[in-house]
Structure 1
Amino acid sequence: MSFFSRLRTNTPVYKNTGSTARDHLASERTYLSWLRTGLGFIALGIAIERFSQLDIPEILATLRHDPALNSAKDKDHLLVGALLGTGAGSIVYGTTRYFTNLRALERGLFKPAYLGVAGSSTLLAGLAGVVYVSAAREHGKGER
């Protein structure tokens, strides 16, 4: 007997009447989508952190002793922190939403998630706006 077959879980088994299986599978797909989104934000944050360490202008600025370098590093850390936080928040929200839906579907109910979607959209739009404004300011400073 294999190790995995000895593991007993208390996973409920439902009769597939109506759209029970379809609803649960749709909920699982949505959960996996939230996980993918969260992992994407986390991967982007890690990539920005790693590539910011390999920045050629940074190497040249250290040769010139440019004080603006520390300000750019702080902005990178803020962006990385925001992306990692957004990714972790997406994973936590998706997990919470999945298990809430699971319990609701067991009772034959469903509650739409207006606030979660609206909050996520607002957060991402705000993050994109801050990054855009910051990049526009840096670009404006470089032209002078």
Structure 2
Amino acid sequence: MKLFGNGGSPGAYRPQRDAEVREHLANERTLLAWVRTGIGLVSVGFVVERAGAPAFGTPGGRETVLASGVFGLALVVLGCLALVVGAVQFFRNRRMIMAGVFAPKSAPYIVVVAGSLLLAVSFIVYTALSR
């Protein structure tokens, strides 16, 4: 019983060249890297959000809870964005590999990198101002 794909059935897609198999496998590894990155960002986001909870009763605790909530949520959103970008890029690259063409696009990567840098700079500024 096959759960996914059509394996070796007569109607299966057959790569036209040997390198195409390697390209599909590389595309899958890239998707898995995006998934690891997205899950990592979401996980860290949850930890950062929860890190402010013990400070609630302390002086300045409300601001700490608010900041950790904002930074945690931003990390979760960035992680979800990485997952979506990775999936979109995977399917786009898959279609292009099967068509025998490739036109790289850097815009999706720039969005995730810019979001990461913006979040990092915001955190640095917040840390410097709260001392």
Q: Which category describes the TM-score, using the shorter chain as reference length?
A: 0.7 to 0.9
Matched, 1:90 2:86: no
Partner of 2:54: 54
> Which has the higher Rg, Structure 1 or Structure 2?
1
Question: Which amino acid in 1 is paired with 2:48?
Answer: I
Aligned residues: 127
Matched, 1:136 2:128: yes
Contact kept in structure 1, 2:48 and 2:69, CA below 8 Å: no
| Corresponding residue to 1:121 among 102, 110, 113 | 113
Partner-residue secondary structure (3-state), 2:5: coil
Question: Which amino acid in 2 is paired with 1:19?
Answer: A
Partner of 1:106: 98
**Distance in 1 of aligned mates of 2:99 and 2:129:** 53
Question: Which amino acid in 1 is paired with 2:24?
Answer: H
Partner-residue secondary structure (3-state), 1:54: helix
Partner of 1:142: none
- The 3 A distance-change label for structure 1 pair 43 and 8 is closer
Contact kept in structure 1, 2:96 and 2:102, CA below 8 Å: yes
- Greater helix fraction, Structure 1 or Structure 2: 1
- The 3 A distance-change label for structure 1 pair 8 and 112 is closer
1:65-76 aligned within 5 A = 66=59, 68-76=60-68
The gaps in structure 1 that reach 5 residues or longer are: 140-144
**Distance in 2 of aligned mates of 1:85 and 1:120:** 11
Question: Which amino acid in 2 is paired with 1:47?
Answer: V
Q: Deviations over 1:70-110 (max 9, x none)?
A: 22211111101100000000001100110111111110111
**Distance in 2 of aligned mates of 1:93 and 1:126:** 18
Percent of aligned positions with the same letter in both sequences? 26
**Distance in 2 of aligned mates of 1:26 and 1:124:** 25
Question: Which amino acid in 1 is paired with 2:85?
Answer: Y
Question: Which amino acid in 1 is paired with 2:71?
Answer: L
**Distance in 2 of aligned mates of 1:78 and 1:16:** 50
